[in-house]
Amino acid sequence: MKIGFIGLGIMGKPMAKNLLKAGYALVVNDINQDAVAEVVAAGAQALSTAKDVAAASDVIITMLPNSPHVKEVVLGANGVAEGAKQGSIVVDMSSISPIVSREVSAELEKQGVVMIDAPVSGGEPKAIDGTLAIMVGGPEDAFAKVEPILQKMGASVTLVGEIGSGNITKLANQIMVASNIAGMAEALVLATKADVDPEKVFKAVRGGLAGSTVLDAKAPLALAGNFKPGFRIDLHIKDLQNALDTAQSVDTPTPISQSVIEMMRSLSSDGNGSDDHGGLIQWYEKLAKTEVRS
């Protein structure tokens, strides 16, 4: 089975490399030619357009920044839809609006191409080691065909419902991650301001009910002042905005998401949008006039 991979960014590049390591033949495309060259050096073949990638592939994976990029790459000029054969499967692993996932799927369906949405969670470290959590929406028969491929990139691969369900699950995930990071930041700044060692607070609580994967991943980085992006603040803003838009469409309250997105937007306005989302602690530090990191 020949696989096409479009989008070789922070997440897509290591994901594509893991497919190559698993023995899959891969054709790739991205606007970043340095990223393309790196994946080609690992064994992939580069093609000049998304149309060409689709024409050469049975399964076309896209890993792109947001909804407009997916619509352009899949449905635009020289896009996936122009090259995809009847019976091909498009696996969009981008984190986008579930409404857009359904719109793009409906257009592809007209020409006999099936789409599933399969966004991921875990950031760059888990993309590199192939242990992402992958949330899938789409037909069961299409999922069965691509599940072995997805398993080469993730530690868990779960079909949660029809097309769009994967992205709804990802939005739920992003709400919970943002809430965890905000709670962690608020607590560590409080401890610091009250003259209690925040590192000792982290060690004391991580084994109790407050412990979490988010806490274990982000607290040490926040304590060290290391905000090198595993998942950028600007990307989390995008996900939370998609969550807010989706929530509005189904009349669901989202007060926590609304609060956190404003914190993140403030940081982005200050020039910190490329920081890791664990850098949210800087918003609290600025208001408290104190720094957790030494």
For 143-190, what is each residue's pLDDT tens digit? 999 999 999 999 999 999 999 999 999 999 999 999 999 999 999 999
How large is the average pLDDT for residues 263-282?
97
Q: Which two tokens stand for residue 215?
A: 């806490």
pLDDT digits (tens, 9 = 90+) for 72-128: 999 999 999 999 999 999 999 999 999 999 999 999 999 999 999 999 998 888 999
Listed residues 163, 185, 204: the one ending a domain: 163
DSSP structure class, residue 269: I
Determine whether 170 is an active site residue: yes
Domain closes at, from 129, 163, 197: 163
| The model's pTM | 0.90
Judge if 6 and 134 occupy the same domain.
Answer: yes
189-200 pLDDT tens trace: 999 999 999 999
> Which residue, among 216, 228, 239, 245, has the nearest Cα to 279 in the 3D structure?
228
Is the pLDDT confidence value at 62 over 90? Answer: yes
Of 13, 17, 51, 170, which is the active-site residue? Answer: 170
Find the domain containing 111 and state its range: 2-163
The domain that holds 62 is classified in CATH as 3.40.50.720
Q: Per-residue pLDDT tens for 276-294?
A: 999 999 999 999 999 998 6
Q: Are residues 67 and 91 in the same domain?
A: yes
Q: Is residue 294 part of a domain?
A: no
pLDDT score for 293: 83
- For residues 153 and 259, membership in a common domain is answered with no
User: Are residues 58 and 134 located together in one domain of the fold?
Assistant: yes
Ranges of H-type helices in the chain: 12-21, 33-41, 50-55, 67-75, 80-83, 98-109, 123-129, 140-150, 165-193, 198-205, 213-224, 233-249, 255-267, 281-288
Are residues 149 and 190 located together in one domain of the fold? no
Rg (CA), the chain: 20
